[in-house]
A and B are shown apart, each in its own frame.
Chain A
Amino acid sequence: MKKHIIRLLGLALFTLSVGGCNKDVLNVEPQAQILEENYFQKPEHAVWAVNAIYNQLRTWNVISFPFISMTDIVSDDALKGSTPADSERLSTFDNYTYGPSFPEEIQLAWRGYYHGIFRANSAIQGIPKVEMDPVLKSRLIGEAKFLRAHYYFYLVRWFGDIPLIDRLLVPSEYYNQPRAPKAEVYNLIIQDLKDAIEVLPEKSQYAAADLGRVTKGSARGILAKVYLTIGDYVNAEKYALEVINSNQYALLPQYNRIFLPEGQNSSESVFEIQATALEGSQAGASPWNMIQGVRGTPNLGWGFNQPSDDLIAAYESGDPRRDATILYVGEVLPDGSAIVQDNPEMVNERYNQKAWTPDHPGLQDNGPSNIRILRYADVLLIAAEALNENNKPMEALTYINLVRARARGTRPITVVPPLTITDQTQLRQAIWRERRVELAMEQHRWFELVRTGQAAAKLAPLGFVAGKHELFPIPQSEIDLTEGIIMQNPMY
């Protein structure tokens, strides 16, 4: 009996040991998740990967404090806002005391936009492997390239020379990427946008369910702005006119409707970041409304990005765009739901009305508004500016006056009257001012000031140092981690 047992036992243990030493037993897979090695095998993977790049557009780092601070607050259009103590660090954008490691918003912006680039690179690299409908495939790659260009366009304007990452890096490349000259970055942006123009459908050619995806017009419009930024007015004119002549777009008759829910994806929309407030979920939202919403009564948000006196003074008298842009204490909300009450904790209380949103499901952080990145009015003004630079003032006037006429609406002609200046310098100034008031509080102003060389003159009284503050500092951690391969911008 015993012997049998011993043998059985010995056998059992032996079998077990052999069986157990099999390494495969230890290969387990995370459940309900796709492994990276199995991605880009099905057509839907390609769609999902591109959707993920759009998703990044709505994230905190891309669209909230960093974005608003480094566009409006840092400009002459706005102050930090909110109560003095709340996120006090953002006042460094009002007085140009930010540095390479403080406040964190500069690093967050850098990080957020590079994360978007990472997702785009992943899609651009992965989608070609997928067997799928070639038309959809090239469109998706086109969308990814557009979005990569979009992310880079912000980075290059904020930071100047930056590491140019156009694929997923391998570990040996993590720490040794130098800053590429600005021109190289623009080359990639231009090439990506041109590639996108080739393959992207026009707005009208998309299925309704795809409304909000980037279009041929989006790519042309952004490309026009890119050329305008680098001073290539010929190409700026070319691409702006291509948008205008595509007959895909028209100005919305009423300026103050653009930023209401009905103005989302309107005829005027060339590129806007899509967001929505879902019931019981924030999966479609952005923090953009909350950050700028009325703080106090009604309690709609945090009250950052406060329109400045300088902005108020920039409007021609009677320009209705001022009221459509700035929400004052005592003013009735656009939907008539409440009157803004005085909040004693705030100084010079006023708000960015373009970020106001009517009642919606969920709380403040379930921000539903689409964020208008490129409006048709912007394209018209790009065209006007480029045409003026290209010595075609009459054509330039046509476009700027379209914008002014819409602003005027049904009001008397003396309100925002048509322009007739043909002197290039004067017209240039007029166009710049028109851009300011038309696009105020839409997170463009900083780039305008720097692009047009007005920054030093306009901002010096606030602490701006010429030769330094045209660029933001490179986050210190990038310099530290690359042990100096990444170098700092001048004077930081």
Chain B
Amino acid sequence: MFGKKILFAALLLWCGMAAAQVTVKGTVTDASGETLIGANILVKNSTTGTITEIDGTYELTLSDAFATLVFSYTGYTTQEISLKGNTTLDVVLREEAQLINEVVVVGYGTQRKSDLTGAVTSVKGEELKKIAASNPVQALQGKVAGVQVSAASGRPGEGPVVRIRGTGTLNGAAPIYVVDGLILNNIDFLNTADIESMEILKDASAAAIYGTRGANGVIIITTRKGTRGQKPRVSFNSYYGTQQPERRIALTNATEYAQLVNETSVNSGGQPTYPDPTVFGEGTDWQDVIFQNGAIQNYNLSVSGGSESMLFNISGDVFRQEGIVKSSYFNRYTLRINNEYNFFKWMKFGHNTAFVFSDNNREPGGIVFNALAADPTAPVRDSTGNYGNTSRNSNVGNPAAQLEYNSYNRGYGQQFAGNVFTDVYVLKNLTARSSFGFSLVNNRNKSYEPQFYVNERQQNPESRIFAGVFRGVDWQWENTLNYQKDWKNHRINLLGGYTVQAVTGEGIGGSRNRLIGDTENFFYLDSGDDQTATNYQFANTPERYVSTLLRINYALHDKYLLTASVRRDGSSRFGSERRFGTFPSVAVAWRVIEEPFMKNQNILTNLKLRGSWGRLGNDKIPSNEAIPVVVNGLSAVFGPDEVLNFGAGVTGLANPFLQWEEARSLNAGIELGAFENRLTLELDYYHRRSSKILVRVPIPDYVGSAISPFVNAADVVNSGIDVMLNWRGQIGKLGYRIGALASTVHNEVKSLGRGNAFLRGAIISGEPATSTVIGGPIGAFYGYQVAGIYQNAEDVAKYPNQGIVRPGDLRFADTNGDGIINPDDRVFLGSPIPDLIYGFNLGFDLAGFDFSADFNGMSGNMILNAKKMARGFGIPNYETSFLDRWTSEGSGDSEPRITNGGYPNFNVSDRFLEDGSFMRLRSVQLGYTFPKKLLSKAGFSSLRLYVSGNNVLLWTNYSGYSPEIGSENVLEVGIDRGIYPTSRTFLVGLSANF
């Protein structure tokens, strides 16, 4: 700054001496319209120049009216513009694509991006805001190579399933979240507007500092803070939108349904049920009954700023979302106060705290499936006004009646989460930090079901109330020492720390029947009959962690970088014989661009090679498996009054040698910037071998243990490539950017422990639908291969014996060639894990308008359409694919004749397996930023309005609501049992600063 002042003075001096010249005026702003103060303007190939004033304006006198001016500003891309005789020239400067001095958050500290040796991707809060969602992680979809985000359901308030670089365990595979230093398993309480940045730590070099909890990857979240020297600024961000199901499932109408029911009956030897199916016409579309357009809205007001002695950021946030299934909603109200106080020169104190209140309602249980299954010939209500009977034919409740009677399923949450910390500058270069993080959770839930009668099978003879409370306390104390020293060509950063964490939780609740009233005033246990009371209280096994950590970062000549870290973790989650583990990592990087031989080229502006190795742990293993306990509730009935006599016993075996799962992770990467970093490329290869994966190893049943003990026995490898490619450019006043990212996952099980040829996953209709076998991916689909359809009796006789089948039934492949079709012929049918996950995005801005479109997708994954398989109890409605049924010889070779469940047509086979590949226009946004001049009169410093859409377009062959079928259970991914669909959202929004 001082240097600039001298230059300015010198320039003034020089200008004063000149004569007979042209004067050029203008304003320099950034892309958002904010004026830039002190931007440099220089006449190309001269020393003539100036800098912009406090309002961003400049005035430059020069001799050549056709000169080229060079506009530059630290952190912004330099622009050269030819004057062509103009005397006014307003210029928009854009932030540089990749800042050499950009700082990213890493575990227990920050690092210059250029110093990174590991695979870390940073996503700014602004980017997250493009997606309207309760959980900010949903916005990562298609944004970060190597990260797969999929919704397990579209229910408001529910977080997505996140996998970083594949699935490295048969147990909990979710990453950990580190929110302002506090390690958490979920971040449902965070709202997007409060997030400054998210850093995704993908390799060992980055994540090994989290030791036994880092193997699934780490997402570090930093919340917004004030900026030093910034006057109090009021910001208001808001959007309002409407959501609807992305698509409907094509079901048979009442006439078609009745026809198929008739055929079912005839095919099983009976008489047609309906003499004339056409009398039913279209019938009821039950999807219409349950879906609605749901509003989604968010209002965030914040005040932030900072002085020498204090930084502050106070924000209030209201998020309200109605579900697309009637009666479901999620609302959240947050107050966040992130302040820092510089009490003394040598010490700083601060806190990041959030108070969160939420309330939600869940839709009636199973209503989405019921809407698909309900008999379309039944009316919503019959002529007498009573609810139509869907139970009789389709064996599911009337969804409209469910909405009336089973919709009161409330949840209320309170959370106080954050941290208080102090930094003490102990010595020059040495900082001590002590941070106490906490999350106090208090959740209540309550559901009420009135007494009602729809029909014999859909009724509730007595009104009923359930209520429960859960209280969780999670605290963590973290003490670190950080030593930083630069000398000559060396830079070193040493980190040492010690942390402890404890997690406890307990719940209490109960139920009663026969309430004395039926309005909300009575929805308390005390309104019910105490004769019918049930209750429970439990406490989770406390979890405790103690850890020590050490890390060194060393840079030589800013060229050769080394990171080495080690963490020693103790965890109560492991067996008494295996409490402590050590997790080292080492990484090196070479900034080739700094080498002399790179100086005489001007294409590349960044080139870095890096490699890392490390060992990480996963502790998301089932609780308590290491501690043998007595099982309660094994009661026996005795006495003339048939009284339950308490019983308890040892029923299984535990393993005191249980320990964390281990992952050895290897990463090699290249970072490249060219054309002044307008083009950037980041490419990583990773290979992660997870071993000692906890798996139940079968023991012979004669041992008599009710459970097979867990053993650290399985091995899984994930490997692949992550690539991110971005281009930013400018054509005149049009700035544009285009980016693409992709990642591949090869997931392969190497071992499953003794006696485990395979692990069963989901059981559907009494059969394993997924199976994890050695050499295959985790949770692969498993079943019969359809070879065709038996066209006639000769076929039945000709092909291998498949048991009792008739013409029109599915003919399975005799995969083992033994001449008989039996369960041994079931084979691998496909994987729910995509081969490729990708995203691409483009955007441009011009004259205050900005536009962006983000696409994401994946390919190579399969989905099991289990909702189509769910037949046998009653005759549920049909998906229209059933209409392609086989009816007579030669009438088809894919969909069998109509039967209502059972062998062979409804066994798990590739008949029900669909391609889950998809591509989606994840978000599209058009915004307009008002010009400064207009705004200042109205008291704004900036104002942007936008319209946007999320999940606007979807390309997929999958027939369900959404090809995103996530599941936290890694053995049961990609099984569509009729999930709550994800939604398409259209929004208008504004963001204003005062």
Contacts and interface: CB of A to CB of B under 8 A. Distances in A.
A396 B145 CA distance: 85
A480 B755 contact: yes
B648 A16 contact: no
A274 B534 CA distance: 23
Contacts of B479: 12-13, 16
B532 interface: yes
A218 to B, nearest CB: 14
B1 interface: no
B343 interface: no
A165 B872 contact: no
B903 interface: yes
A247 interface: no
Contact of A84 (B268, B456, B632, B650): B268
A111 B630 CA distance: 20
B288 interface: no
Which of A6, A25, A87 has the largest count of B CB atoms less than 10 A from its CB?
Answer: A25
Contacts of A390: none
B704 A165 contact: yes
B651 interface: yes
Interface stretch (A116-124, A323-331, A417-425, A445-453): A116-124
A348 interface: no
A102 B649 contact: no
Interface stretch (A28-36, A69-77, A222-230, A232-240): A28-36
Interface in B685-706: 698-706
Interface in B567-607: 570-572, 576, 579
B651 A119 contact: yes
A318 interface: no
Interface in A97-143: 101-102, 104, 107, 110-111, 114-119, 121-123, 126
A482 interface: yes
A270 to B, nearest CB: 16
Contact of B572 (A28, A171, A276, A283): A28
Nearest to A119: B649
B827 interface: no
A160 interface: no
A53 interface: yes
A210 B638 contact: yes
A475 interface: yes
A213 B645 CA distance: 11
Interface in B2-32: none
B538 A31 contact: yes
Interface stretch (A44-52, A195-203, A308-316, A398-406): A44-52
B628 A9 contact: no
A242 interface: no
17 contacts: A2-B426, A26-B572, A28-B541, A35-B627, A49-B649, A52-B651, A86-B902, A102-B822, A114-B704, A165-B702, A210-B638, A210-B639, A276-B642, A276-B644, A284-B637, A481-B698, A481-B755
B872 A85 contact: yes
A33 B630 contact: yes
B639 A209 contact: yes
Interface string A1-37: 0100110010011001100110101111111111111
A86 B532 contact: no
Contacts of B635: 51, 55, 283-284
A125 B902 CA distance: 46
A26 B541 contact: no
Contacts of B542: 28, 31
A284 B640 CA distance: 14
Interface in A39-63: 39, 45, 47-56
Nearest to B906: A85
A482 B570 CA distance: 36
B638 A274 contact: yes
A212 B638 contact: yes
A274 B700 contact: no
B881 interface: no
Contacts of B901: 85
B646 interface: yes
Given A25-B546, A28-B572, A30-B624, 6 more contacts: A5-B424, A27-B576, A50-B647, A118-B651, A126-B650, A209-B643
Contacts of B628: 35-37
A246 interface: no
Contacts of A13: 432, 479, 481, 498
Nearest to B432: A9
Contact of B637 (A48, A275, A279): A275
A486 interface: yes
Given A51-B635, A51-B645, A6 B571 contact: no
A107 B532 CA distance: 39
Contacts of A482: 700
B700 A31 contact: no
Contacts of A36: 628-630, 650, 654
B701 A475 contact: yes
A204 interface: no
B766 A28 contact: no
Contacts of B639: 208-212
Contacts of A31: 506, 538-542
A483 B630 CA distance: 31
A467 interface: no
Contact of A284 (B546, B629, B642, B701): B642
B636 interface: yes
A480 B645 CA distance: 39
Contacts of B637: 212, 274-276, 284
Q: Which of B513, B645, B651, B900 has the most CB of A within 10 A?
A: B645
B648 A177 contact: no
B539 A9 contact: no
B823 A48 contact: no
Interface string A167-202: 011010011010000000000000000000000000
A208 B766 contact: no
B498 A17 contact: yes
B532 A39 contact: no
A478 interface: yes
Nearest to A49: B649
B758 to A, nearest CB: 12
A478 B643 contact: no
A51 B702 contact: no
A302 to B, nearest CB: 10
Nearest to A277: B642
B543 interface: yes
A25 B544 CA distance: 7
Given A31-B539, A32-B539, A51-B635, A118 B642 contact: no
Interface in A144-168: 162-163, 165, 168
Interface string B878-922: 000000000000000000000111110000000000000000000
A86 B701 contact: no
B804 to A, nearest CB: 8
B632 A33 contact: yes
B513 A280 contact: yes
Contacts of A107: 701
B500 interface: yes
Contact of A52 (B500, B649, B701): B649
Given A26-B544, A31-B541, A278-B644, A175 B627 contact: no
A54 B638 CA distance: 10
B647 A28 contact: no
A203 to B, nearest CB: 13
A5 B426 contact: yes
Contact of B703 (A114, A208, A276, A299): A114
A177 B901 CA distance: 41
B346 interface: yes
Contacts of A267: none
B638 A209 contact: yes
B327 interface: no
Nearest to B511: A280
A344 B651 CA distance: 44
A265 interface: yes
B541 A23 contact: no
